[in-house]
Amino acid sequence: MVHPLVSFDLSPEWAKAVHIENLQALEEVYRDLDCDIADWQRTSDLACPTGCGHCCTRFTPDITAVEAEYLAVFLLQHYPEKTDKFDGLEGSSSKLSSEECPLFDPDSAFHCSVYAARPLVCRLFAFSGFRDKSGHRRFAPCRQMPVSDEYSALQKQFPSSGSREIAPDDSITFPLLGVFGSRVEAADFEPSAERELLPSAVLRAVSRIRLKRQLASGQELSGSDTSIPETPVDGGFSGRDTA
């Protein structure tokens, strides 16, 4: 199933506060990945167990600047109350590097409060493969994932060294971690920057967007409004990058 991407308000106030072209490029990567995962699911009949969320437990992804901005826009426009979680993290290095993602929601179906806007690593988990040192493609499902009859047949046809792994020929396709990782890096507006843990990255992005929106609207800024923390859609985006 391909889940719809999010939609965004891009009035002039917002357009001047974000990197539209970069967000467009990222959204295209997410859309292509969702389609590739859906194709692979149809081929393999693999699916996460209902209500599992194992991959989200005690895990905080590291993300690029453009992924952080995508999440920040999604939160500010659709769930502004959730940004309070990030405001409360400012100045706390232990919380900013916590093993638990602040967007984890044990009560939701996907255990993620921003599922439509989740970053690349969260989309790839359990449904992506890799190339080994020899350049051969390999795939192994998550240990929590039941093996389907279709996947068992693929294991017999394309055996590999791992007990749940396959090493298929080019007739079988699935998303590759390296391919989509490179595409996200190419979409970033800070390509030379290192990835950052989600809490601190989103906190910086939210603060930056708030500041730029205030400047664009001509609002007077208080001293506390002017600082950006320094810490270790269906067709959603259109227009030009004016940030």
Both tokens of 94, joined, read: 């232990």
Task: Tell me: pLDDT of 162 over 50.
Answer: yes
Alpha helices in 45-174 (DSSP H): 65-78, 83-87, 93-96, 120-124, 149-157
What letter does residue 102 receive in the DSSP assignment? T
Choose between 93 and 194: higher pLDDT: 194
Q: Percentage of residues in the chain with pLDDT exceeding 70?
A: 81
- Asked whether 36 and 174 are in contact (CB, 8 A), the reply is yes
Task: Tell me: pLDDT of 175 over 90.
Answer: yes
Least confident of 36-40, 56-60, 210-214, 224-228: 224-228
Choose between 160 and 228: higher pLDDT: 160
- Asked whether 86 and 185 are in contact (CB, 8 A), the reply is no
The pLDDT score that the predictor gives to residue 240 is 33
Residue with tokens 């007739």: 171
Q: What is the largest CA-CA distance in the chain?
A: 67
Q: What are the Cα distances from residue 192, in Å, to 153, 179, 195?
A: 43, 18, 9
The pLDDT score that the predictor gives to residue 151 is 96
pLDDT grade for 5, boundaries at 50, 70 and 90: low
